[in-house]
Amino acid sequence: MHIVTGGAGFIGSNLARALIERGVDDVVVVDDLTDGHKFVNISDLAIADYLDKDELLARLAADKGFLKGIKAILHQGACSATTEWNGRYMMENNYSYSQKLLHHCLEHRIQFIYASSAAVYGSSSEFVEDPLFENPLNVYGYSKIQFDRYVRRVVKASDSQVVGLRYFNVYGPREQHKGSMASVAFHLNNQLREDGEARLFMGTDGYADGQQVRDFVYVDDACKVNLWFLDHADKSGIFNTGTGRAQSFNDVANAVIKWHGKGKIRYIPFPDHLVGAYQSFTEADLTQLRQSGCDVVFRPVEEGVKDYLDQIG
């Protein structure tokens, strides 16, 4: 059994799809469908079962037979809203829940591959998996770094695989439910369809209009990294998951405009509420990922955006 938590979410549903496409027939999706709109992300997937997140914890605690049937937990479930400031809610969803899953996996030697985030780096200009460069700007980033710290402290010489993947700016299909937290490619595509223009922020932090840069990673490539570690159970650690090459928001907008064959960019004032809480530059250092042996090739924005828009139109 391969359990994907957050399996009705963005990365989780794509990961469930990727597993099924490689012939895995025991994919169990775990999520909280209080927001029932997310069902569309899994409605086309031949999953083996669906469990609510609370039901999963109950089964793990009470059903030894259930535990014995689990090969891996790919833990993508989290509150991913960087604008959410309810710290109690964030820590329960992103920290305490993850702790419980981790300990079940360690005790029963189940592969545990979980979603961390580049948000742990915050205002840092270096993106290396080292505490020296970890300085989150919001409670979401804090919840992620606190679990990474817990993993570093608890998982020492375990022979059970534990892998944390620090996702950078992931974009791609099955993200429509995320609203304001959906990728810039998603929003720019909608803007161009509605009124023919892509809106980007004016310059900030010394960057020219639209020239703030992020490490944009296509969701299929992020899934391939998960699958690589699933296939290499002897590899553990915390690894950046990005292209290793920062590209500008202008690059994303131009890729969307090229796909539509029309449109223009309009620059809007930088919002006051984001001043001091915005990453104007991210770029994954892939040294440790490559040293692990992971050889996944990451697509640039120009290729990823085309593939994305070819799918959603």
Residues taking part in catalysis: 140, 178
- From CA 133, how far away is CA 120, in angstroms rounded? 9
Question: Residue 233: which of 311, 167, 292 has the closest Cα?
Answer: 292
DSSP state of 258: H
* Buried-state track 185-219, b at ≥16 Cβ within 10 A, e below 16: bbbbbebbeeeeebebbeebeebebbbbbbbbbbb
Question: Residue 120: which of 185, 186, 177, 164 has the closest Cα?
Answer: 164
Count of alpha carbons within 13 Å of 8, Cβ hemisphere only? 19
Instruction: Specify the 3-state DSSP secondary structure of 74.
Output: strand
Let me know how long the chain is: 313
- Per the CB < 8 A criterion, the answer to whether 68 and 108 are in contact is yes
